[in-house]
Amino acid sequence: MALAESPDIPGGAGCPGCFGTDPQAMVARLREGQAVRIVLSVPELSEARDMLAVERALEEVAGVRAARVNLTRRRAEIEAGTGVSPEALCAALAVAGYAARELDPGALEPAGPDPGGRDLLMRLGVAGFAAMNVMLLSISVWSGAEGATRDMFHWISALIALPAAAFAGQPFYRSALAALRRGQLNMDVPITLAIVLTLATSVYETAQSGAQAYFDATLMLCFFLLAGRYLDHRTRSAARSAAQELAALEVPRATRLRDGQEETVAQADLAAGDLIRVWPGSRIPVDGVVTEGISELDRSLLTGESQPVAAGPGLAVQAGEVNLVGPLVLRATAVGRDTSLHALTDLVAVAESGRSQYSSLADRAARLYAPGVHLLAALAAVGWLAGTGDLRLALNIAAAVLIITCPCALALAVPAVTTAASGRLFRRGVLIKDATALERLAETDIVVFDKTGTLTLSEPEVQGFAELPQRMQALAAGVTAVSAHPMARAIARAAQAAGAVPAPLEAVREVPGFGIEARWEGQRLRIGRPDWTGGAGPVQPGGSAVWMRLGEGEAVAITLRDRLRPGARDTVEKLRAQGMRICLLSGDRAPAVAALAWSLGIEDWRAAVLPQDKAAHIRLLSAQGGKVLMVGDGLNDTAALAAAHVSISPATGLEAARAASDMVLLQADLSAIPAARQTAISAVRRIRGNFRIATVYNILAVPLAVAGLCSPLIAAAAMSLSSVTVSLNALRLR
């Protein structure tokens, strides 16, 4: 059981085991006179009042100048003055009830404005504004203006349209050029050809004093296409690199021991063989072996183990584990890129690159569509030129074919639906981060759950606390009030729910690896391990027990079990009803995993699974033809999340897990998962319906264009009508 010092320690009131040494000495180790920026990950943030509580707790720490909380990213950025350590800030948040972990600011992208979205919006605005002005000028032509008046309006339209189209269409031009350089055809190649050919035809008609010019059609084409591109960008804007978030978790500094003296050094300055001191509340910066000290380690985010692990001399530790209780000294065996945490980062990066090869419905349509459009336009031009000998007419026919077949409807088919579905799911508490996530979610037939932090909450719950004698309830409430150990926090929460008034205790102290000790009315009170308290007895399968003993009396067991996440049982039942195969992969102990699997009716489960083994099992299921939905929250899940066909992470999970996933649950309840899959299936049906609308439109309109019955202007109007129809169909999503 993790331990905290007595509340009367100077500067350490209620500190959850962070002051294994004098805090003034810890402050003195830091460089003075230099303002620093500290970034903390606070995964338990969920609403506005949490933001205020976290900011208030941070601002109460001496030396903090300003604290800003980002609810979306679940981060706190602190501007600190002289001598403020990340460990002290994490300790203050732990007292306030929020777990926090330091991130490396240098490894994170700044959360500034979205340049890609701003660029698309600017080009969309230019195209729309120019199109409206050219349409106003075209009214005179449509009304019957002739001769010099008509030519003047055409030339003014050209002066507006040419620079506007050159600027607004750059995303399509760059994409088409890149595809052609690779020897490929994508959707932007016929778009670019249609814009260029229509502009060229319009300029030629204007120079020849022709009756028709199609500058307005070209600009409207750009406008509709940019609208689709912006909708697509919005669904992608939330995505971030999971490998980058993992890199940010690597501890940026460490306390190295040289000749008995402590020095704070950067991670890059460490070497194998160095002695490193790790203070309570800190993450371990390197792989190594403990040489001094007794403590407990939280490995839940790294391995999925729900119970802390006792640490002492000779224990091998890994980078990323959290020291809970007492200070440790360890000898580094691997640093930097050689640590297990960095190896996991590389594993995630490889998995992400593999998933990026997914071919979306729009991509598959483009591969079939683009060659057919080019061939059709070329055949129409050649046929009319051979039949009439009129190059001007042949180019007009080719331009009309390209415009009427221009894939505006196809370009809008996917983003219009995904935007509507994303908004619907966001209102239900699901954030879509990737444009193809809905398509992939609809294809899934296997769901793999992590246990700790996903199907269960990170802290256990106490069973039968109200049945204890009132005196023991009060003693338990008092002795656990100052500890940040998961079991102690669970007992304190149960005592509060039972209305127990904490007993006034004296000489409260934690004994690393054993429990908490105090004195009450002259008697010794202990709570912790059975061999330390004198307790013994059977424990329910899948559960654990903490024993409490007053004086020479009989030890009393306090039983704890994993606490199910809200909606977990209902989610499993609904996914099974949808025909999904349910699997459970966990790094926790077999008895705990078996008990949970039995309670939820999950027959396929595995325990003590390492992070790389989780990813390997996902790849095995995929190789067998399965489409895997992975749901996980921890560092040990990131590679599996990235390797899965599609993945979901709770917002309370580790930031790296949220980054590796395609969707994030914004609420504690898991019941949004089956609803999201049902919405995804409906969305894919709507996308396919949009493709059918675009196909029918082309079947009806193309023969008219090839036959010369549609001018480029009429073709542009028909193209706009099909785009509007596709957008309206997307709004029918249920």
- Catalytic residue IDs: 450
Q: Which two tokens stand for residue 561?
A: 């079990």
- Contact partners, residue 375, CB within 8 Å, separation at least 6: none
Distance CA 684, CA 687 (A): 5
CB 418 within 8 A of CB 438: yes
CA dihedral 571, 577, 579, 584 (to 10 degrees): 40
Dihedral sign of CA atoms 691, 693, 699, 701 in order: negative
CA 216 to chain centroid:
42
Among 71, 76, 37, smallest CA distance to 56 is for: 76
- Count of CB atoms within 10 A of residue 28's CB? 11
CA 672 to each of CA 300, 418, 546, 567, 571: distance values in angstroms, whole numbers, following the listed order: 24, 17, 35, 9, 8
Among 352, 400, 453, 370, smallest CA distance to 205 is for: 400
31, burial (CB in 10 Å: exposed 0-12, middle 13-18, buried 19+): exposed
- Contact partners, residue 666, CB within 8 Å, separation at least 6: 46, 426, 429, 430, 431, 651
The secondary structure of residue 377, as a DSSP letter, is H
Sheet bearing 253-258, strands edge to edge: 261-266, 253-258, 275-278, 328-334, 287-292, 316-317
Q: Which two tokens stand for residue 55?
A: 């900011």
Distance CA 476, CA 484 (A): 14
Distance CA 630, CA 536 (A): 39
DSSP character string of 60-94: TSTTEEEEEEETTTTEEEEEE-TT--HHHHHHHHH
CA 385 to each of CA 183, 334, 377: distance values in angstroms, whole numbers, following the listed order: 29, 73, 12
Among 220, 42, 19, 228, smallest CA distance to 129 is for: 220
- Contact partners, residue 574, CB within 8 Å, separation at least 6: 671, 674
- Contact partners, residue 710, CB within 8 Å, separation at least 6: 400, 404, 701, 704, 718
CB 103 within 8 A of CB 92: no
Among 489, 676, 481, 677, smallest CA distance to 579 is for: 677
Distance CA 475, CA 229 (A): 63
**Between β-strands 556-561 and 581-585, what pairing exists: parallel, antiparallel or unpaired?**
unpaired
CB 676 within 8 A of CB 661: no
CB 123 within 8 A of CB 167: yes
**Between β-strands 328-334 and 101-103, what pairing exists: parallel, antiparallel or unpaired?**
unpaired
CB 650 within 8 A of CB 453: yes
Distance CA 224, CA 96 (A): 51
Distance CA 171, CA 151 (A): 31
| Phi and psi, residue 468, nearest 5° | -70, 155
CB 38 within 8 A of CB 78: yes
CA atoms within 13 Å, Cβ hemisphere of 388? 16
